[in-house]
Every structure is written in C-alpha cells, then in structure tokens.
Amino acid sequence: MTPFELYNPTKLIFGTESYLRISHEILEGAKVLLTYGGGSIKSNGVYEAVMKELKNFQVIEFGGIEANPTFETLSIALDIIKKENINFLLAVGGGSVIDGTKFLAAAALYEGDSWDILKKGIRVTKALPFASVLTLPATGSEMNSGAVITRKETGEKLGMGSPVLFPKFSCLNPEVIKSLPQRQLKNGIVDAFTHVLEQYMTYPIGADLQDRLSESILKTLIDIAPKVIFEPYDQTIASNFMWCCTMALNGLIQKGVPTDWATHMIGHELTAKYHIDHAMTLAIIFPNLWRYKFENKKEKLAQYAERIFNVNTGSTEEKAEQAIQKTLEFLHSIDVKTQLREYTENYNGFSDEVKQTFETRNWIALGERKDITPEDVRKIVEMSC
C-alpha cells in the first residue's frame, strides 16, 4: 500500500426526499446560478422540484451545457456570473454539467485567462461554492473534485482538479433513473464499472482492503446491471446503481494503490473521431488493453476472476484469460459492443491516427507502470478495431 491522503468534504444527501435539504444547505441570501444541460430537467420534473426549494433565493438559469462541456459554452456562463455577482452555483444534471460547473466555480475567482487553469494545469486555491443535483449516475463528479473540459476551437480535452472543487453538497435522488433512456443507463453502468477497473486492474500492492472495496462495487454493478438496464424502475436497484457510480470515483478506492487510466485516454480519441458515447469507448478499449498488457496485469486479472466470477481452477494465466472472457460475456449480456467495427466500417488507418495524435502531444507514457507508448497505443487500438 502506498502512502495516501484522503479528503472529501462533500455532503452526500441520498434519497427520494433529498431535494428538501437544498434550501437549508445554501447560505441565506445567496444569488444562485442554476446550471443545466440539454433541458431534460424541464420535462422530468427535476427542474420544478429544485426551483420550489430555491424560492427564497435569487436564481438565474444557464442551460445548454453539452456532453463533454466546452470552454466556449462555459465562457458565456462565466460572463453572467461576473456580471450578475453570482455567489453560488447549483449544477442540475449529470457529469458534464457538474464538471462544467466546477470549471465555472474555479474560473469565477481566477485572475487571468481561465483557460490557463486547464492548459497550465493550475490547482486553483479558491472557488465559488457550488453544489449538485445529480440526474444521471455515471461519472462520480458529484463527489469528487475533478473535471474534464473541451475546447472546441482547438479540439483539446483537458482535466483539472483542486481540493477546493468538491461540491458543498450533492443530492442523489434515485427516482431520476425512472426517466433515463436505456442507452444512458447502459453508459452509467459501464462508466462506473470501468472507473473501478482503472483503479483496480493494475498489479498487486498488498492493499487488501482497497481491492475488496473495489470488488464490492464491481460485483454489485454486475449483479444489478441487467435489472437497471432491462427491467422496470425499482427503487432499491436504482439506489444501488446510483451509490455504486458515486463510490466508483469519489477517491476512496484509489487511495494507496496504482491506477491505470490508459483506457480513458485512448477512449477519448474514439469519441473525438466517431462520436461514440464515452462509456462505450471504454468497453472497446479495456479488454484489449488487458490482453496487450497481460503480463503486467495477470495477477490482478486472476484475483478478479476468482473473486468476481468464481473461477477457482487453473493457473494464474488461465484464470486471467477467463477474467477477460467473463468480462466480455458480461458486457455482451447487457448489449454493449466491444469492437470498433461494430460502430463503423471506417476504421482503417485509425490506429495510426491515434498514434500520431499521442505523439504530437507532450507525451507521457500511459498506464500504471507508465510504459504504454504511442506505438503500444496503436497496437491496442488495432486490436480494438
């Protein structure tokens, strides 16, 4: 186990009545910017419920924050924040809206060009207070301090984070799942599942408890996935789904262990080129990344096979092979495609493109051992086509 610091001051308010806490958690007299995305909150009842709780506050709305939130859109919101002297942000949406709102919280108090926060990797030391009402379980943004922002103009997609960028509170009402289309439920499951794997499927480091905590989330997600995706709404199932997504990326399971994240880095290129949903790109990449880095990962793969899929016979290598096989079976069982060719015929030459893209960046080798080069990425993408 490596040394670590764990700090997470977000107040998680979980349950069907969680919105009732909103007015108590926001400082009296606050002037609130309510941020949201494409507008589904106006048809599913969430907007109305939240606005009811905000009746004693001055509220200005800013909608239209897109999936993969852009610097361009957020810059418009930033102007409003400054012009209107907004002093509290309430994100009502999924990971993109919350990520975008984190950028706004940081940018509002940043002196200088706000793009520098991302471009220069500045860890801001002050931010506007903000909170979230989660409408789409998947990214964990509701209980972490990180965000990913895209600049349309340049095609850059960059991460940011700071200990001052935890939501003050986040309301998690499992009923939001009722109105989600199957595609988004599937994305949520696979996103959370891969988040855990990025922090788990590396090499053994004697972090027994963290391993078991990660396995808890994986096992629960596998158990509930078909029910979440294919069966009618059930509050118990929805609650477990929502809680798994938060726990998958609230920082807990990464403490004291190596993490990978190469799948995410590579997956982003599939979204950029083919507009495949983020989570679905992960399912294309990670099984092949496991194959390619088999020697590095086989011990953890075997442990995962044993504990998640009850594979109790065979050598470490055989169990590790089974781990990949059983994971693919799981993904296929919930109708998740695991090869790029299932999305497009136009994949020839893509692996070379990705290699070049990675080469032209300030390249840092990827993976838990920092040993995945652009050429390795090319091979992984080739296997994933």
> Could you tell me the two tokens for 303?
């442990």
Cα–Cα distance, 158 to 102 (Å, whole number): 13
Q: Does 370 bind a copy of itself (CB under 8 A)?
A: no
Strand pairing of 88-93 and 31-35? parallel
Question: With respect to a copy of itself, which residue has the nearer C-beta, 11 or 119?
Answer: 11
Question: With respect to a copy of itself, which residue has the nearer C-beta, 240 or 271?
Answer: 240
> Min. distance of Cβ 383 from a copy of itself in angstroms?
32
Among 52, 120, 212, 361, binds a copy of itself (CB under 8 A): 212
Cα–Cα distance, 158 to 3 (Å, whole number): 27
Cα–Cα distance, 368 to 297 (Å, whole number): 10
Among 23, 58, 73, 216, binds a copy of itself (CB under 8 A): 216
Cα–Cα distance, 169 to 205 (Å, whole number): 33
Q: Does 13 bind a copy of itself (CB under 8 A)?
A: yes
Strand pairing of 58-62 and 169-172? unpaired
Q: Does 247 bind a copy of itself (CB under 8 A)?
A: yes
Q: How many angstroms separate the first and last alpha carbons of the chain?
A: 36
Identity of residue 16: T
Q: Does 228 bind a copy of itself (CB under 8 A)?
A: no
Among 7, 181, 295, 345, binds a copy of itself (CB under 8 A): 7
> Could you tell me the two tokens for 323?
């781990």
> Could you tell me the two tokens for 327?
């994971």
Q: Does 125 bind a copy of itself (CB under 8 A)?
A: no
Question: With respect to a copy of itself, which residue has the nearer C-beta, 208 or 353?
Answer: 208
Contact region with a copy of itself (CB under 8 A), list: 177-185, 234-242, 287-295, 358-366:
234-242
Q: Does 220 bind a copy of itself (CB under 8 A)?
A: yes
Measure the CA dihedral 173/175/176/177, to 10°. 120
Number of residues that bind a copy of itself (CB under 8 A): 42
Binding residues for a copy of itself (CB under 8 A): 1-18, 21, 206-210, 212-213, 215-217, 219-220, 223-224, 236, 239-240, 243-244, 247, 252, 255-256
